[in-house]
Amino acid sequence: MVRTSSRWTNFVFQLLAIVLALAFTSLVMVLAKANPLEAYRNIVVGSLGSINKFSDVLVAWVPLLLATSGLLVTYTAGLWNIGVEGQITLGAIFTTWALRVLQDSTLSPGLIIVIGFLSGALGGMLWASVVAFLRIYGGVNEIFGGLGMNFVATALTIWLIFGPWKRPGIGSMSGTEPFKETLWLPTFAGLRISPWSLVIGIIGIAVIYILLQGTYFGLKLKAVGRNRRAAFLLGIPTTQYMWAAFLLCGLFAGLAGAVQVLGVYHRLIPSISSGYGFLGMLVAMLINYQPAWAAPVAMFFAALNIGSIQLPIVMKLDSTLSGVLQGALVLAVLLMDGVRQRLLRRR
Amino acid sequence: MKRTWFVLSVLLVLAVLLAACQPAATPAPTTVPTQPPAEPTKPVESTKAPEATQPAQPQEFVFGMLLVGPYNDHGWSEAHYNAGLYVEQKVPGAKMIYIDKVNSADRPGTTPEQLAEDLVSKGAKLVIFNSDDMKDGAEAFAKAHPEIIVIHASGDGAWKEGKNYRGLPNLGNVMGRMEYGKMIAGCAAALTTKTGQIGYLGPLINDETRRLAAATYLGARYCWSEYLGKDPAQLKFKVTWIGFWFNIPGVTSDPTQVADDFFNSGYDVVISGIDTTEALAEAKKFQGQGKEVRAIPYDYIGACKEGEEVCLGVPYFNWGPMYAKYVQEAIAGTWKPSWDWVGPDWNDINNPDTSHVGFVKGAALSADASAQLDKFISELAGGLNLWKGPLNFQDGTPFLKEGEVATDFQVWYLPQLLEGMEGQSVSQ
């Protein structure tokens, strides 16, 4: 359906969607008695204005991209893996766990970090498998299963931080005791972004791109996503494919959690997922599940998040405005897609 | 669609390249503290950054503040925010920039040190971290930015005799001796309660919150037994911790619910130890339903305004004078790291220019109680020390022997609540 319409019509409708989203966000700002142009300028300067700012954008980009990558797999399989947030959180918990167990051992820090990543991936997969099990054998819609598991993941985090993993003598919302610096992902000098997390993010999306666009697995997964029954009748083992989709998404979400622990916070904090799971769902919807656009659009969203911090400093505006813009963009794109399909059908 | 994103990405990459091509300065620490560091984070457009070459002239000095809650929370963060306004007023050229809601729930994906850098990129040369929970961030930031003065309010990283001394040349601490304000609050509660049950709405459990809850109890017990002549064993004092300094739905216990539970189970005075005013709001609600209850908010001088008719008064912080001092010293280049635990000005605990800790009485405090409270305050001013033995910990083990007076160290790092108090001493 999308492929058959002309490229130019698509372009015009996408452009309209962006204009619509910007107009809506501007309207919100005008209502808040703020100058939209100044706000946009501040967001741009605050995200791309210096190499430090841009490196902070990358820090947000990597886990967001990993979450998006995972979600592309479940979306392709026709699954709404809303439990991705909890899967990120469990990844972070497993990574923290591995580091806590190994931090005083004689293993080299590099090896401990690698084990941390693997544990994170395992944690994400474990959490996803619960949702998968409920969905596939229990008939529980993955949206409800995922939501439930998200709550459990949050509760587990809080319990760990204020309970068994609390700092000596005190429980603190600032999280567990930070790991020693040898266990931090090494960063570029003076910046917060680690080349290793960049590598993981880029390899991650590349793997997903190839998997979904260039393999039989991807093709069959698409078939499962489009019409599960037809796919089954054509001989595709749909159960296995759904399991694979959930586990892959969990793996990527777990890696995102591991990056948050190893490369960003260096400890477990209460909201360790930073909402990247939900944001990743927006990104995936916005790009209409095409992996090629995950990287730039995730970058754009990350830049909005980082750049919007300028708003309260400079303009006394709340920085949740970036969320308004992100939400408006997704809604506008979906809306315009609907409008386009209606119009084209009429012709 | 592809083309749109292609164009967008090209623009993004271009912008990044442009940014990357700016000459990046070496991050080596500069020796002149008043010289604005040529850090690469400064946006090109910034025209505000002062060219500080002649410190004698009154020129703009930007200081930054990271507030853990909303700047208008009628509590801890607003007290800091108002102190910033005080500095702007008292120190010529001083200008505040701030970010509020600095916590990982409100600003996911950010760290305090990252937000502090945002302030620095807007010209801040002194940054105040206003929460205990920003300790890691404040220290990491201070290490990474030796040219910026870091004030961590409520921390102990600059206390040579403390447990967590870091020895960073650019990190200082300031805290008020709120124990006095809390003792006064406890006294006001004890003089008022009809049921003999006082509830304490606690935030999370740490050294600071334990010692403040304990101080409240000491003040309450003193006035209960000395002024009312009642048996200390008849005074119920219960602490319920919500888990954080303010309500985070789904994460902390709901302070509104906790306050309700107190009022519903016979506690007729609730003293707030959290940064926001739920206790007062709930007291007002219960009062409206005909129950005679009272509350004591915390942190902020204007906190009683939300419920004058049920407010016994508020112990508050007045950070302004200390912040003004730091900013003046920073401008003059004479600032040195110190750990300042600042008490009230006993000549007038509500003097806005000299007293770091104060207590304003509320409309609901009776005339009798008010007179007795004045007496208590003058006793404290005269040297009454309630941190004096015999005192036992909650579990019955001795804290202070007969006649022994607690040191600053013992009070600051109080390991448990005191005997006679109900509630958790240590988080589980």
The verdict on A154 and A295 lying in the same domain is yes
- Check whether B28 has a pLDDT greater than 50: no
Q: Do A210 and A70 belong to one domain? A: yes
Is residue B304 within 8 A of residue B363, CB to CB? The reply is yes
pLDDT confidence bin for B201, thresholds 50/70/90: very high
Q: B8, A300: Cβ pair inside 8 Å?
A: yes
Asked if residue A15 and residue A71 are part of one domain, the reply reads no
Comparing A18-27, A185-194, B25-34, B287-296, the range with the smallest average pLDDT is B25-34
Residues 69-108 of A with CB under 8 A from B: none
Which pLDDT score is estimated for B317?
97
Output DSSP code: residue A170. Answer: B
The C-alpha of B163 sits at a distance from chain A's nearest C-alpha, in angstroms, of: 12
A188 lies in the same domain as A258? yes
List the alpha helices (DSSP H) in B122-206: 135-144, 178-192
pLDDT for residue A302 is more than 50: yes
Is there a domain that residue A298 lies in? Answer: yes
Same domain, residue pair A248 and A288? yes
A28 confidence band (pLDDT: 50, 70, 90):
confident
Cβ-Cβ contacts under 8 Å, A164 against chain B: none
Same-domain status, A208 and A82 = yes
Q: Which residues of B touch A293 (CB under 8 A)?
A: 1-2, 5
The ipTM estimated for the assembled molecules is 0.82
Confidence band (pLDDT; 50, 70, 90) for B44?
A: very low
Residues A23 and A126 occupy one common structural domain? no
Q: Which residues of A fall within a CB distance of 8 Å from B100?
A: 312
Q: Does a structural domain hold residue A45?
A: no
* Architecture of the domain made up of B55-176+319-355: 3-Layer(aba) Sandwich (3.40)
pLDDT at A71: 97
**The CATH number of the domain where A75 resides is what?**
1.10.3470
Residues A200 and A62 in one domain: yes
- CATH class for the domain made up of B179-316+361-422: alpha beta
First to last CA, chain A: 14
Residue A336 in domain: yes
| Cβ neighbours of A190 in B, within 8 Å | 27
Look over chain B and give the mean of its residue pLDDT values, rounded to a whole number: 87
CB contact under 8 A, B104 and A314: no
Report pLDDT digits (tens) over B125-158. Answer: 999 999 988 988 999 999 999 999 999 999 999 9
Q: Looking at CA atoms only, how far is residue A236 from chain B in angstroms? A: 31
The answer to whether residue A127 sits within a structural domain is yes
Same domain, A227 and A261: yes
Residue A46 lies in a domain: no
Residue A236 lies in a domain: yes
- B132 vs A contacts (CB less than 8 Å): 172
Residue A282 inside a domain? The answer is yes
A22 phi and psi, to 5 degrees?
Answer: -65, -40
Residues of chain B with CATH 3.40.50.2300: 55-176+319-355, 179-316+361-422
Give residue-wise pLDDT tens across range A150-173: 999 999 998 898 888 988 756 677
- Whether cis (ω within 30° of 0) applies to the bond prior to B112 is no
> In terms of residue numbers, what domain contains A63?
51-306
On whether both A277 and A193 belong to a single domain, the answer is: yes
Structural domain count of chain A: 2
Residue A39 lies in a domain: no
d(CA A337, CA B3): 16
A4 and A115 in a common domain: no
Q: Indicate whether A233 and A97 sit together in one domain.
A: yes
Alpha helical stretches, state H, chain A = 7-31, 36-48, 51-76, 84-102, 109-136, 142-162, 195-214, 216-226, 228-233, 238-259, 276-286, 294-307, 310, 321-346
- By the CB < 8 Å criterion, does A315 face chain B? no
